[in-house]
Amino acid sequence: MPLPPHARTSALWDIFCRVIDNHGDLGVCWRLARQLAERGQQVRLWVDDASALDWMAPGARQGRVDSVRVLPWADSLSPGVLAALPLADVWVEAFGCEIAPEFIAAGACLSGARGQNGIENPPPVWINLEYLSAEPWVERMHALPSPVLHGPAAGWTKWFFYPGFTPRTGGLLREPDLPARQAAFDRAAWLRGQGIEWQGEPLVSLFCYEPPALGEWLAQLREAPAPTRLLATAGRASAAVLSSENSLQRPPVKREQLSISYLPYLTQPGYDHLLWSCDLNFVRGEDSLVRALWAGAPFVWHIYPQHDDAHHAKLEAFLRWLEAPASLADFHRVWNGTAPGPLPAPDLPVWRACALAARQRLLAQDDLATQLLRFVAEKR
């Protein structure tokens, strides 16, 4: 659905991000900021730890990305800084982080003042951008209001906005030119650029926490009848593989079928290229799951583990939406430690058909940035 004309006008957005789950929270917020900027919006991204942007989006912290300013979270509490800031049209609290009371108070003062045109500044459209889930309650909660009852912003409204996989949710982040870029991608050239001497063997990417079944899976790859090259991403995934490798006692003569390449930290486009290069992708958290869905290759999701096991129901809801075949669903459960048993053998043709069907369903829906722009235009 195209945006109405008033949704295409420029607005000033404040996006707030606290980095909790390694790089995923910041990755999502940066993608959103970029996509809004590319659609004519001005964005201030307030973040408590922006260091990962140095490799994720080089130049971002230095202000070299048009229409996006990256600002330290601490400045949102500073009276001197706040007094000099124009009031934003939109506030976005990403993943349940809470805007500083000082920032809210400053915004409340500005919203009651009159601008140069003599018209009173309206309060910003205040959005609580939630975590991604396929659970049924997401459709019921999406776009519901939450009245602000206390403090300087009493009487305002905060809106719940849920990303999701169905037309009754807020959708997923997707750049308009993503399919065209993927169609033009040269896999062999990208691998050469990474120093990977690819001989046509199956490629598997690994981006994970510390999955319970990692050791068993690596052993299967070593003893498989055909060779596989594993591309391990920097950070926890590489550390987990190295830990597993160092704990092994190998037979001295047996030839192994597994080759491992340890990658440096990749930019966000570089990570897409990794996913597009591989025949099977292991992903984790939220941001990389969405990118794996757009890649259209077979994938396995390592869901963020929660202490109360709430991630079990979240995983099962996603597998139902995905219409995962039995082998893929069982692999997910063992990989995530939600069910016992050996890892089933991957059935890549069947898994690929599942991934492509899921991508096709998602491509028929409006993306998250488009839906946010429309929602904000309706509320302003």
φ and ψ at residue 2, rounded to 5 degrees: -70, 155
Q: What is d(CA 286, CA 136) in angstroms, rounded to the nearest whole number? A: 18
Residue of 14, 89, 286, 366 marked active site: 286
Q: Is 238:230 a contact under the CB 8 Å cutoff?
A: no
Extended beta strands in the chain, E state: 12-17, 42-47, 68-72, 90-94, 125-129, 145-147, 157-161, 203-206, 228-232, 258-262, 280-284, 299-302
Q: Is 169:318 a contact under the CB 8 Å cutoff?
A: no
Residue 120, exposed/middle/buried by CB under 10 A (0-12, 13-18, 19+)?
A: exposed
197 is catalytic: no
Go through 55-85 and write b for each residue having 16 or more CB atoms within 10 A of its CB, e for each that does not.
ebbeebbeeebebbebbebeebebeebbeeb
The tokens describing 149, both together, are 């009852």
**Which residues have a Cβ under 8 Å from the Cβ of 68 and sit 6 or more positions away?**
33, 34, 37, 43, 44, 45, 60
323 is catalytic: no
Go through 335-365 and write b for each residue having 16 or more CB atoms within 10 A of its CB, e for each that does not.
bbebeeeebeebbeeebbebbeebbebbeeb
- Residues belonging to the active site: 25, 286
